[in-house]
Amino acid sequence: MHEMMPPHLDFEGQKTEEGRAVGPVMDTSFKDNDFEYLQIIKNEDLEELRELGSGAFGTVYHGKWRGSDVAIKRIKKSCFTGRSSELERLAHEFWREAEILSKLHHPNVVAFYGVVKDGPGGTLATVTEFMVNGSLRHVLQRKDKYLDRRKRLIIAMDAAFGLEYLHSKNIVHVDLKCDNLLVNLKDQSRPICKVGDFGLSKIKRNTLASGGVRGTLPWMAPELLNGSSNKVSEKVDVFSFGIVMWEILTGEEPYANMHYGAIIGGIVNNTLRPHVPASCDPEWRRLMEQCWAPDPAQRPAFTEIAGRLRSMSVAANQAKATK
């Protein structure tokens, strides 16, 4: 998550440097009443059910919070190691971003419930809404969870609505991909998709080796890779969304067999985009290609993207009804 200011690209550290500060400068010696909106959750009120995944930043669990399903992200202590000045900065960013996330409320944005500060060994954790089917990437890989064109349109539209909301709050995701879109497919007629994992990104980045950029690279806009940091804006998310539309269309991962050096060169030179199948719907293709346009100014805003996907979705429903 980044505020909508031209960030500076820190390629070694994976993404972008800090934008402007939010609100009052926060004292890192956290006191409960410093944060009007932020809920502090007691570790004893949580029950871990099963591990969902882990990474450099820590481990995510499906759990219960006072009887409700939640996702618990326990952050490794190693994320907060370094010089005392660096430690203070990371702690400051953690609490600042947590407060921002706690103020976000939208049906297509994963809800942030609060922070645990008394985890095992004094570790921190975040507690968020639990999405029963996990990431969209996971669903696309599972052949038994086939998504027809109508459902794919709904999922893409939901994601666009969530991103439109984030941008209206001056928040740029910067790491948009199907891994970070979470879904609930319980209702066969109406899948639900929500934008997730857009917060606490700088904490994660602190622990990544330079090679850690690989996984995110295919979704990164050219302006994030070529050093033109003055051009970085919310349009980097629009570029990523074009790649996400391709993922939803094909069920595949972009540039899966390419070395990341070749991917960087291709994106920066604008000679590399995923191959679009001939069977692709012309309207979907037009929107997708506009989203990944080389020039950020040529990419549509999410209000327009969501509107066009909604129109396509309505048309698909009407076509189904007349069959």
Active site residues: 175
CB 230, CB 16: distance < 8 Å:
no
Which residue do the tokens 């991103």 mark? 163
CB 10, CB 212: distance < 8 Å:
no
d(C-alpha 40, C-alpha 98), whole Å:
11
d(C-alpha 136, C-alpha 248), whole Å:
8
* Pairing relationship of beta strands 58-65 and 68-75 according to DSSP bridges: antiparallel
Q: How many residues does the chain have?
A: 323
According to DSSP, residue 253 is labeled -
Q: What is the 3-state secondary structure (H, E, C) of 97-146?
A: HHHHHHCCCCCCECCEEEEECCCHHHCCEEEEECCCCCEHHHHHHCCCCC
d(C-alpha 216, C-alpha 225), whole Å:
12
Is residue 77 part of an annotated ligand binding site?
A: yes
Rg (C-alpha) for the chain, rounded Å, is 20
Q: How far is CA 157 from the centre of its chain?
A: 15
According to DSSP, residue 207 is labeled T
Residues annotated as binding site for ATP? 77
Residues annotated as binding site? 77
